């Protein structure tokens, strides 16, 4: 019998945003060191090595979570706590992965607000992170870029720190609905019995990492702005 696990949306939001804050707030130096230590002579080789390492790590943790959740001795409350903790941990490690790819793309000394925006955009929008980020900023008056089909040279512009923070606020409100729903479905799958939960959790995490690497690599290769104007406080539009 499958154990019913319902995660409170507020609890889920705290777990997800907490994981994002841990990665964005204090792990940039670790991302730089990780990027530097990766084997390979060119960026694609380093990204492939990074993908392999994280896929193995997060796949193994997902499988372990499935085994623990399906253990009869583990009660529903304990399963709920473990599920929430795994969601927060997976999100934090996803943030580490995204920031390491940013470092591999040579992004210069980003602020915490900028790192937070990167992680949120890739987790929420996935393969359309560039367009989703641009659309939000454009709605707030930043005019940082039009459709993806336009050339990168013509669409990259500066963005004020106020606009960036407003974008982060909008993304934070979207994270449970757009990203948390996907991860929540995986968490429910890990509660399946007879070893199925371990397969679901391990396999889903493995595939998620592979996809996340491709999405982040594409986002940073075509980042829709050139720099952040940290002295600007004006915000001409709102979402």
Q: Give the CA distances from residue 105 to residues 11, 101, 219, in Å, rounded to whole numbers and listed in that order.
A: 34, 6, 10
In a domain, 1, yes or no: no
State the pTM of this model. Answer: 0.78
In a domain, 234, yes or no: no
Alpha helices in the chain (DSSP H): 9-26, 28-37, 43-69, 76-104, 112-125, 129-139, 152-155, 161-175, 181-189, 196-221
How many residues in total does the chain contain? 239
Structure tokens given for 194: 């007879």
The two beta strands, 228-229 and 159-160, are: parallel
What pLDDT shows up at residue 89?
Answer: 86
In a domain, 142, yes or no: yes
pLDDT digits (tens, 9 = 90+) for 140-158: 865 565 444 444 444 567 8
In a domain, 238, yes or no: no
The residue whose two tokens read 């391990």 is 202
What is the residue range of 82's domain? 9-229
Structure tokens given for 7: 């995660």
Q: What is the total count of domains within the chain?
A: 1
Task: Please indicate whether residue 84 or residue 72 has the higher confidence score (pLDDT).
Answer: 84
Max CA distance (Å), the chain: 60
pLDDT digits (tens, 9 = 90+) for 72-82: 444 444 455 55
In a domain, 151, yes or no: yes
Q: How far apart are CA 217 and CA 211, in angstroms?
A: 10
In a domain, 196, yes or no: yes
- Which candidate, 179, 158, 164, places its Cα nearest to that of 235? 164
Q: What is the DSSP string of 112-133?
A: HHHHHHHHHHHHHHGGGHHHHH
In a domain, 236, yes or no: no
Q: Is the pLDDT of residue 63 over 50?
A: yes
Q: How far apart are CA 161 and CA 149, in angstroms?
A: 26
Q: Which helix (H) or strand (E) holds 159?
A: strand 159-160
pLDDT digits (tens, 9 = 90+) for 184-203: 555 544 444 434 344 444 56
Q: Is the pLDDT of residue 172 over 90?
A: yes
- Which candidate, 159, 154, 144, places its Cα nearest to that of 235? 159
Does residue 31 contact residue 96 with C-beta atoms inside 8 Å?
yes
In a domain, 2, yes or no: no
Structure tokens given for 170: 């909008």
């Amino acid at each position: 019998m499958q154990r019913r696990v319902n995660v409170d949306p507020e609890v889920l939001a705290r777990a997800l945003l907490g994981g994002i804050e841990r990665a964005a707030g204090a792990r940039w130096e670790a991302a730089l060191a990780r990027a530097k230590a990766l084997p390979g002579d060119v960026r694609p080789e380093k990204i492939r090595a990074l993908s392999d390492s994280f896929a193995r790590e997060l796949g193994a943790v997902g499988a372990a979570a499935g085994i623990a959740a399906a253990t009869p001795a583990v009660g529903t409350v304990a399963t709920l706590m473990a599920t929430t903790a795994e969601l927060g941990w997976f999100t934090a490690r996803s943030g580490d992965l995204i920031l390491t790819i940013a470092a591999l793309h040579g992004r210069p000394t980003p602020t915490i607000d900028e790192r937070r925006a990167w992680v949120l955009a890739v987790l929420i929008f996935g393969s359309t992170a560039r367009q989703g980020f641009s659309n939000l900023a454009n709605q707030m008056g930043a005019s940082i870029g039009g459709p993806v089909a336009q050339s990168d040279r013509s669409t990259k512009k500066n963005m004020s720190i106020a606009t960036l923070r407003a974008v982060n606020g909008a993304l934070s409100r979207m994270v449970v609905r757009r990203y948390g729903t996907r991860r929540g479905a995986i968490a429910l799958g890990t509660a399946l019995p007879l070893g199925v939960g371990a397969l679901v959790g391990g396999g889903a995490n493995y595939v998620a990492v592979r996809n996340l690497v491709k999405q982040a690599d594409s986002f940073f290769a075509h980042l829709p702005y050139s720099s952040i104007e940290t002295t600007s406080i004006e915000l001409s539009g709102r979402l």
